[in-house]
Structure 1
Amino acid sequence: MHEMSIAQSLIEIVRQELEKHGKTKLIAVHVKHGTLANVVPEAMDLAWEVLTKESDLDGSALVLEEVPLQLECCGCKHLFAPESSQFLLAPCPECGEELGHAVVSGKELYLDRLEAE
């Protein structure tokens, strides 16, 4: 479960940011994750809960937002979202090209913002 290591890294970043901005209470952490980042929201929630329990971060909310996969056709440069998660063979709805598309979004995994007091 790589969500546990993601949550551990996230906690380290959160602590640094709280200290840097002179905040003591974390209310919520907003994280954006792309479809291709393979984050399982339920596992991430559990990891966050376990790692923050009985700490100064206990009770803070983890808010996950999935960034959908978007591809750019290698032929006509049309931006599109593949119909299935099997994007390796995703025909462009404009020109029909099936291979060689560039991933424009959907690989992200980052801390978007913090809510703190």
Structure 2
Amino acid sequence: MHEMSIVQSLFDIVRQELEKHGKTRLISVHVKHGTLANVVPEAMDLAWEILTKDGEFDGAVLTLEEVPLLLECSSCKHQFTPESSQFLLAPCPQCGEDLGHKVIAGKELYLDRLEAE
């Protein structure tokens, strides 16, 4: 479960931000993850719960937001979100091209914001 290592990396970032801004208590963390980022929200929640329990971030809330897949057609450059979860064959709704699309959004994984005091 690589979500454990993601949460541990989040802790490192959070510690740096708390120190940089002179804060001592973490209230919440908001993370954005793309459809293609291979993050399992339930596993991430479980990792957060396990790793924060009785620790320095106990009681802090983790919020996850999925960023939908956005493709750009290799032929007509139209940007679209595939209708199906089958991303390998995603016909462009504008021209019908099936292959070679560029991923514009949907691979990201980042700390969007945190709340602390």
What aligned pairs does 1:1-117 form with structure 2 within 5 A after superposition?
A: 1-117=1-117
Q: Indicate the RMSD between aligned Cα atoms, in angstroms.
A: 0.6
- The 1-side partners of 2:20 and 2:26 are apart by 13
Residues 55-114 of structure 1, C-alpha deviations (whole Å, 9 max, x = no match): 120000000000000100010010100112221211000000000000000000000001
Q: Which amino acid aligns with 2:80?
A: F
**Taking every aligned residue pair, what percent have the same amino acid on both sides?**
80
Q: Which amino acid aligns with 2:47?
A: A
- The 2-side partners of 1:13 and 1:49 are apart by 18
SS of corresponding position for 1:92 = coil
- The 2-side partners of 1:86 and 1:18 are apart by 40
Could you list the runs of 5+ residues in structure 2 that have no partner in the other structure? Answer: none
SS of corresponding position for 1:75 = coil
- The 2-side partners of 1:56 and 1:11 are apart by 10
Could you list the runs of 5+ residues in structure 1 that have no partner in the other structure? Answer: none
Taking structure 2 as the reference length, what is the TM-score of the superposition? 0.98
SS of corresponding position for 1:100 = coil
Taking structure 1 as the reference length, what is the TM-score of the superposition? 0.98
